[in-house]
Amino acid sequence: MSGAATGAQPDAGATGTSVAGAGNTRARSVHLPAMHLILSDPSCQPLLTGYGREQTLAAARALLAELRGDMLRVANAGGSAPAAAGEITIPAITALLAQRLAQANQSPLRPVFNLSGTVLHTNLGRALLPDCAVQAVAEALRWPMNLEWDIDTGKRGDRDDLVEDLLRELTGAEAVTIVNNNAAAVLLMLDTLADGREAIVSRGELVEIGGTFRIPDIMQRAGATLREVGSTNRTHLHDYANAANTQTALLLKVHCSNYAITGFTKSVEVAELAPLARERQIPLAVDLGSGTLVDLEQYGLPHETTVRETIAAGADLVTFSGDKLLGGPQCGIIAGRADLIARIKRNPLKRALRVGKLTLAALAPVLALYRAPDLLPERLTTLRLLTRPAADMRAQAQAILPLLQRALGADYDVRDEAMTSQIGSGALPVDLLPSHGLTVRAAAGSRVSDALGVLERRLRALPIPVVGRVAQDALWLDLRCLDADHQQRFIAQLEALAV
């Protein structure tokens, strides 16, 4: 080691650590303040009260060790340290310390701007919830709740009861049960009704939903034998009728959430299949996936089969997600015949898949909003975003454009353009919603190589990272999901984007 450091321990010595570069004949001496002086400095007090003594001390030790190393390297190279060696003041050190502690204590789960154009984005947490749900969750976090305790009788209750009446009213189902997500709902339903027996599914409906959820795999895990019928593009009622036998436990229809089969196609509707199910006394289950509780056409959106329609058409059980079109928290809802729901609730797996109080706290007020369907587009965040007219987003784009252009400088070319959003999460996969937003391209003569890659990284490095979509040599920022109250925060951090 050619450099000489005195006071190897950061808190050794009353005045601190001196570092002299041995390679430097004029021995530029630099100085780090002693630990106890740093810790007792007024500038450090907020850190000690905010992060505690142990954590602050450990971070300070690490920082001083790093600074000492930097200084040694610079001194040995005969240069002067970047932080003007010899003049590293205590406030400068606590400022660095504050930055590091803040970063280390940042939640790993962070808000982002979803400008991807996909409203219900699974990787970004799907539905955003309305304030009524946010408040209910905050209260449930702070208070013991009557989760499984009947206030009227003072006896033990059932957590499903908290939302059952409302869901029955909204779907026409006799009974419901709630689990952690729709994948769990399908698993629990199959495990209860078809374990060791057969479930008949059309070859056109053997869906894979992203991640690892595939109907054939989930069936296998549930112990059910998959009996495929029909062909990829066409399945007829007689295919189901021919396959049904004494081993058949279930007829299952699955919503083609993320694809469409077009052309020479035929699938059997629930209403067509229901009489066969009745006649053979085999339950008919429908995995609706998204499943909505209202006719979306009344809001100018494409029609998506509702849970009520599916039950009215003769489904014995319907499964759907809480955080897709419904606009609530992550959960899976199984609605249908009381006797089948009772069997499902007795399955020990239900206990493993049940939801917690936060989910139910959020779900109940969201469901209550559906009692006023006329007010739903104002009140239900998901529906508000889905029904925003493109003109709104165009006005926003025009307001933001000059600010973004200024932040990005001459290497980029920002324009406002029409684009299309998608609902996402397997709801109405082929229906696109007219939208508007900003596109960013590398300007002619841009000095940045891989300009879009650089831009994407810069957007991700912002305090609230921005998620866009790269296509056709441009970054597309769809403004549909940029609420008025989020717009200010979006603009406020543009400054940090400037290089």
CB 6 within 8 A of CB 17: yes
Q: Which stretch binds ligand PLP (CB under 6 A): 104-112, 167-175, 251-259, 299-307?
A: 251-259
The residue among 127 and 400 lying less far from ligand PLP, judged by its C-beta, is 127
Query: In angstroms, what is the minimal distance from the CB of 297 to ligand PLP?
Result: 20
**What track of x and - describes contact with ligand PLP for positions 295 through 334 (by CB under 6 A)?**
--------------------------x----------x--
Q: Which stretch binds ligand PLP (CB under 6 A): 59-67, 228-236, 287-295, 375-383?
A: 287-295
Contact status: 118 vs ligand PLP (CB under 6 A): no
CB 319 within 8 A of CB 332: yes
Angle at alpha carbon of residue 289, lines to 383 and 281, rounded to 5°: 135
Q: Which stretch binds ligand PLP (CB under 6 A): 39-47, 107-115, 140-148, 205-213?
A: 205-213
Contact status: 207 vs ligand PLP (CB under 6 A): yes
Measured CA to CA in angstroms, residue 395 lies from 1, 401, 416, 436 at distances of 64, 10, 10, 9
Query: In angstroms, what is the minimal distance from the CB of 408 to ligand PLP?
Result: 36
Q: Is 89 helix (H, G, I), strand (E, B) or coil?
A: coil
Alpha-carbon span 244 to 249, nearest angstrom = 9
Query: In angstroms, what is the minimal distance from the CB of 189 to ligand PLP?
Result: 11
Closest CA to 421 of 407, 411, 431: 431
Is the torsion defined by CA of 205, 209, 214, 218 positive or negative? negative
- Order of strands across the sheet that contains 248-254: 175-179, 332-336, 317-321, 284-289, 248-254, 198-202, 225-229
Q: Please identify which residue in 255, 308, 350, 436 interacts with ligand PLP, judged by CB under 6 A.
A: 255
Q: Please identify which residue in 289, 314, 377, 468 interacts with ligand PLP, judged by CB under 6 A.
A: 289
Helices and strands (H, E) in the chain, number of each type: 19, 16
Q: Which stretch binds ligand PLP (CB under 6 A): 10-18, 253-261, 349-357, 384-392?
A: 253-261
CB 366 within 8 A of CB 127: no
Contacts of 426 (CB under 8 A, 6+ apart): 209, 210, 255, 257, 258, 289, 290, 324
Contact status: 227 vs ligand PLP (CB under 6 A): no
Query: In angstroms, what is the minimal distance from the CB of 129 to ligand PLP?
Result: 15
Query: In angstroms, what is the minimal distance from the CB of 51 to ligand PLP?
Result: 37
The residue among 290 and 439 lying less far from ligand PLP, judged by its C-beta, is 290
Contact status: 213 vs ligand PLP (CB under 6 A): yes
Query: In angstroms, what is the minimal distance from the CB of 181 to ligand PLP?
Result: 3
The residue among 283 and 289 lying less far from ligand PLP, judged by its C-beta, is 289
* DSSP helix, strand, coil percent of the chain (3-state; round to 5): 45, 20, 35
Q: Which stretch binds ligand PLP (CB under 6 A): 36-44, 80-88, 165-173, 250-258?
A: 250-258
The residue among 68 and 324 lying less far from ligand PLP, judged by its C-beta, is 324
Alpha-carbon span 499 to 478, nearest angstrom = 23
Query: In angstroms, what is the minimal distance from the CB of 204 to ligand PLP?
Result: 13
Query: In angstroms, what is the minimal distance from the CB of 345 to ligand PLP?
Result: 19
| Range 157-196, binding ligand PLP (CB under 6 A) | 181-183, 186
Judged by CB under 6 A, the number of residues near ligand PLP is 17
| Range 331-370, binding ligand PLP (CB under 6 A) | 332
The residue among 107 and 212 lying less far from ligand PLP, judged by its C-beta, is 212
Alpha-carbon span 423 to 120, nearest angstrom = 6
The residue among 213 and 299 lying less far from ligand PLP, judged by its C-beta, is 213
Query: In angstroms, what is the minimal distance from the CB of 212 to ligand PLP?
Result: 11
Q: What is the DSSP letter of 491?
A: H
Would you say how long the chain is, in residues? 499
H/E element, 281: none
The residue among 321 and 439 lying less far from ligand PLP, judged by its C-beta, is 321
Q: Which stretch binds ligand PLP (CB under 6 A): 136-144, 207-215, 235-243, 395-403?
A: 207-215
Q: Which stretch binds ligand PLP (CB under 6 A): 154-162, 232-240, 282-290, 441-449?
A: 282-290
- Order of strands across the sheet that contains 4-5: 4-5, 16-20, 29-33
Alpha-carbon span 371 to 373, nearest angstrom = 6
The residue among 116 and 290 lying less far from ligand PLP, judged by its C-beta, is 290
Measured CA to CA in angstroms, residue 360 lies from 140, 223, 308, 355 at distances of 9, 29, 21, 7
CB 75 within 8 A of CB 85: yes
Q: Which stretch binds ligand PLP (CB under 6 A): 5-13, 90-98, 196-204, 285-293?
A: 285-293
H/E element, 354: none
Contact status: 426 vs ligand PLP (CB under 6 A): yes
CB 7 within 8 A of CB 16: yes
Query: Given the rule CB under 6 A, which residues bind ligand PLP?
Result: 181-183, 186, 207, 209, 213, 254-255, 257, 287, 289-290, 321, 332, 425-426
